Amino acid sequence: MSQDWMLLGLAYLAAKHAIADFFLQTKYQYANKGVYGHPGGLLHVLIHGALSMPLLLILPPKTAMYGILILGAEILVHYHCDWAKEKIVKGNGWLFTNDNFWRAMGIDQLIHGLTYLAMVRALV
């Protein structure tokens, strides 16, 4: 697999993340991500998983099962990362005007980005 294909895969996932987190995420989703098992948080990560599926056309997995495992891992990591961030942010009463809110948001986004690196690496 060429470096160009790897970069295309990463670019796709970065764009997908922006769309799913900042354009398709509704108040129902983001208001409930801190409640473990709530349908709002589950819907959010299922949207991420569905939008990640075309990556498997860009970087085809060795087997369909391998692709399913990669998408499942993304969903699990994304869900728990968002849940933990919400528990920390809300538990401390941090609002968007607080520096720690933005630090938590930055760490959350970093973990998502590193997850995408791991996904592409697993596919190549």
pLDDT at residue 8 tops 70: yes
pTM: 0.94
Whole-angstrom distance, CA of residue 75 vs CA of residue 94:
26
Q: What are phi and psi of 13, to 5 degrees?
A: -65, -35
Would the pLDDT of 17 be above 90?
Answer: yes
Cβ-proximal residues to 35 (8 Å cutoff; 6+ apart), any chain: 41
Contacts of 43 (CB under 8 A, 6+ apart): 28, 29
Q: Could you tell me how many residues make up the chain? A: 124
Q: Render pLDDT for 25-77 as a digit per residue (tens, 0 to 9).
A: 999 999 999 999 999 999 999 999 999 999 999 999 999 999 999 999 999 99
User: At residue 5, does pLDDT exceed 80?
Assistant: yes
> Which residue from 29, 34, 60, 23 is spatially nearest to 45, judged by alpha carbons?
29
To which residue do tokens 């599926």 refer? 53
